[in-house]
Amino acid sequence: MDKLSLLKTFSVVANEGSFTRAAQKLDTSNQLVSKYIAELEKQLDTRLFNRTTRKIHLTEAGQQCLQHANHILESVNDMESQLGQLSSEAKGLLHVSAPVSFSTLHLAGALSAFQQAHPNVSINLQLNDRKIDVIDEGFDVALRAGNLTSSSLIAKKITSIKLALCASPAYLQKYGTPSHPKDLKPEHYLEYSYVNYDNEASTLIAALKANAQKVTPKLTANNGEVLTNVAKQGEGYVLQPTFIAGEALSKGELISILEDYVPQSISLYAVYPHRKLISNKLRVFIDFLCEYFKDTPYWDQ
């Protein structure tokens, strides 16, 4: 009894929530489905379902097993598609995690263009600025902006992201234009709470961190658009990527300051598990984003 058949049966039972419906979907008997589940539980030495007379529920071990089973079955399907050349067309469902502001401002257009080019690929997009666990949370790929630490994941650069320290004309008129990071007023700092471009070699970053330790920043938020809009009202200064602040800078609503001290550009990466066979749908998705945004993205041109 091969394990793939056991895992496939288990996945269908878990998704259908019923041995009977699973048997109907697999075009087999209830007895064989029950036999396969019992054999898998025996091999794993754990109970996968809690059974009552009316319903079945996954145990905690069953929930973990389902995540692994779905990854294994999807990888096998991808392998068959690629190595057997069963289809030259990308297809299937991609689970994608991406930063909030970048997605609302720029990813929507890219996704629309991608799905026009690849209509058989569906996307489940989850927006979150925190560092998610790609494997444990079941994502095929995560888009991350910043300086990545070493990990067991594969990271492919999508595009470069410039940073800008900004303040409104009204703020600069009232408090003056700083010529050095030491001239910044720490109580006016509008701080992004998920910052991921710390560079200890940067005089500006060092000053911002030192100031934040001495004085509570005027506003701390986990959304760069909110901070940028507050800065436009003359309430302080903010360090933000140009994909957020670029429009306000071009309109003169914000002015870039201390440009000689701003850290070098960071990058937007596509991060995915190295242990998983990269599927055709994921490969074309990453390649499409690289071509769409290019190394110098449109908002910096």
- 207/219 Cα distance (integer angstroms): 17
Using alpha carbons only, give the angle 187, 189, 195 rounded to the nearest 5 degrees: 135
Residues forming beta bridges with residue 271, ordered by sequence position: 142, 155
Say whether both 293 and 273 belong to one domain.
Answer: yes
Say whether both 178 and 195 belong to one domain.
Answer: yes
Last residue of one domain, picked from the residues 83, 102, 137? 83
| Overall number of domains in the chain | 3
HEC string for the chain: CCHHHHHHHHHHHHHHCCHHHHHHHHCCCHHHHHHHHHHHHHHHCCCCEEECCCCEEECHHHHHHHHHHHHHHHHHHHHHHHHCCCCCCCCEEEEEEECHHHHHHHHHHHHHHHHHHCCCEEEEEEECCCCCCCCCCCCCEEEEEECCCCCCEEEEEEEEECEEEEECHHHHHHHCCCCCHHHCCHHHEEEECCCCCCCCCCHHHHHHHHHHHHCCCCEEECCHHHHHHHHHCCCCEEEEEHHHHHHHHHCCCCEEECCCCCCCCEEEEEEEECCCCCCHHHHHHHHHHHHHHCCCCHHHC
Are the C-beta atoms of 157 and 267 separated by less than 8 Å? yes
Say whether both 145 and 175 belong to one domain.
Answer: no
Last residue of one domain, picked from the residues 83, 104, 121? 83
**Which is it for strands 163-167 and 255-257: parallel, antiparallel or unpaired?**
antiparallel
Say whether both 191 and 235 belong to one domain.
Answer: yes
- Which pLDDT band holds residue 274 (cuts at 50, 70, 90)? low
Supply the CATH number for residue 106's domain: 3.40.190.10
Q: Tell me the pTM.
A: 0.66
Say whether both 37 and 7 belong to one domain.
Answer: yes
- Which pLDDT band holds residue 87 (cuts at 50, 70, 90)? very low
Residues forming beta bridges with residue 92, ordered by sequence position: 121
Burial of 283 (0-12, 13-18, 19+ CB in 10 A): middle
Are the C-beta atoms of 59 and 44 separated by less than 8 Å? no
What residues make up the domain containing 155? 92-161+266-300
Q: Tokens representing 298? A: 């449109």
- Which pLDDT band holds residue 149 (cuts at 50, 70, 90)? low
Say whether both 286 and 142 belong to one domain.
Answer: yes
The pLDDT > 70 percentage for the chain reads 87
Lowest mean pLDDT among 56-65, 82-91, 210-219: 82-91
Beta carbons within 8 Å of 56's beta carbon, 6+ residues apart = 13, 17, 18, 19, 49, 50
Supply the CATH number for residue 68's domain: 1.10.10.10
Say whether both 30 and 155 belong to one domain.
Answer: no
Say whether both 73 and 157 belong to one domain.
Answer: no
Say whether both 181 and 238 belong to one domain.
Answer: yes
- Per the model's pLDDT, the better-predicted residue between 88 and 285 turns out to be 285
pLDDT given for residue 263 in this prediction: 83
**Residue 98, number of CB atoms within 10 A of its CB:** 25
| Residue among 156, 201, 301 at smallest CA distance from 242 | 301
**Residue 137, number of CB atoms within 10 A of its CB:** 13
- Which pLDDT band holds residue 85 (cuts at 50, 70, 90)? very low
Say whether both 177 and 234 belong to one domain.
Answer: yes
Cα first-last separation, the chain: 59
Mean pLDDT of the chain: 85
Say whether both 157 and 172 belong to one domain.
Answer: no
- 210/190 Cα distance (integer angstroms): 14
The pLDDT > 90 percentage for the chain reads 40
Say whether both 151 and 168 belong to one domain.
Answer: no
Are the C-beta atoms of 73 and 7 separated by less than 8 Å? yes
